[in-house]
Amino acid sequence: MTPTRSAQLMDGTSLAGRIVEEATVKAADIAQRTGTSPCLATVLVGEDPASVTYVRMKRARCAKAGIQSRLVGLPAATTTAELIDTLTALSNDPAVHGILLQHPCGPHVDERAAFEAIAPEKDVDGVTMHSFAAMSFALPGFVSCTPGGIMRLLEAYDVELAGKHAVVVGRSAILGKPVGMLLLAKDATVTYCHSRTADLSALVREADVVVAAVGRPRLIRGEDIKPGAVVIDAGYNPGNVGDVEFDSARTRAGLITPVPGGVGPMTIAVLLAQTVAAAARQLEVQES
């Protein structure tokens, strides 16, 4: 009997740890040379339990990395105009080097308008149109954190993207769309799929690289994975379940990210690294 093959796991936890270690060293260097520590301001509208948990986790990671964390808590009833005023004030505050707007902010808030109130040089979460344009045209700027983490994973595992067919399942403004642009910049041929895509399985079966980023548990079936393909599962659903049928996909893929421990840790690592980079630019600290 032929033994069942098993894909190599892409260890996001270990890679994220190395990225954070590097950011920690740089943050300490900035503080030593300028007397100022990098500062990330997080704006939280309301008290959504999941958002509160995420913010608490991010603040703890900042503290360990030597990054100051300023929490700006706003009432759930905060209007779009009030939120924009808060973000504009933070953008104009020289003591703040990076800004993170925790979302969702509530159905009554125009999140796109709020995101656009963040100064591009402080958009360390990569959510503004300016940042998306920079990703699309390969210009200097900050990448969306989850797509940026995905690209770092692919690089760390020596995944050759030039000429490969990448299928991105999901088209959100901060995950699906930007990761497609970043893959395109590496000379991959990119196909975007979404809720209205006809015969999704057929497209997935053609993919050398699959990025699942739609937020639907086990949407991508293992039987549809091309043998040897790279599978990036950026989904996180209740019960630690991703967007890919992990067990069956692992028997066909060449590389695959686990959930948890794959893409998730990379998102926060990129956020911290970009906050430190933003501080270095604003404080005019050259790398030693």
Q: What does the pLDDT look like over 159-194, one tens digit per residue?
A: 999 999 999 999 999 999 999 999 999 999 999 999
Helix (H, G, I), strand (E, B) or coil at 72: strand
State the Cα–Cα distance between residues 19 and 266, nearest whole angstrom: 9
Q: Is 110 a catalytic residue?
A: no
Residues of the chain with pLDDT under 50: 1-3
Which of 26, 122, 123, 125 is catalytic? The answer is 125
pLDDT at residue 288, rounded to an integer: 62
State the Cα–Cα distance between residues 120 and 178, nearest whole angstrom: 16
In order of their start, the domains of the chain are: 36-121 (3.40.50.10860), 145-265 (3.40.50.720)
Helix (H, G, I), strand (E, B) or coil at 169: strand
- Which percentage of the chain shows pLDDT scores above 70? 98
Helices 176-185 and 145-156 sit at what angle, rounded to 10 degrees?
40
pLDDT at residue 1, rounded to an integer: 39
pLDDT at residue 5, rounded to an integer: 73
pLDDT at residue 2, rounded to an integer: 43
pLDDT at residue 287, rounded to an integer: 73
Q: Is 125 a catalytic residue?
A: yes
CA distances from 162 to 50, 181, 196 (A): 38, 13, 28
Residue labelled with tokens 């769309």: 177
Contact 26, 276 (CB under 8 A): yes
Contact 43, 83 (CB under 8 A): yes
Spacing of C-alpha 115 from chain mean position? 16
Instruction: Report the DSSP beta bridge partners of residue 101.
Output: 43
Q: What is the pLDDT of residues 236-281, one digit of tens each?
A: 898 989 999 999 999 999 999 999 999 999 999 999 999 999 999 9
Sequence-ordered alpha helix ranges (H) in 137-237: 145-156, 176-185, 200-205
pLDDT at residue 4, rounded to an integer: 63
Q: Is 8 a catalytic residue?
A: no
State the Cα–Cα distance between residues 97 and 274, nearest whole angstrom: 10
The token duo for 146 is 């989850």
State the Cα–Cα distance between residues 68 and 40, nearest whole angstrom: 6
Which of 102, 122, 226, 274 is catalytic? The answer is 102
pLDDT at residue 114, rounded to an integer: 98
Contact 146, 262 (CB under 8 A): no
Instruction: Report the DSSP beta bridge partners of residue 99.
Output: 41
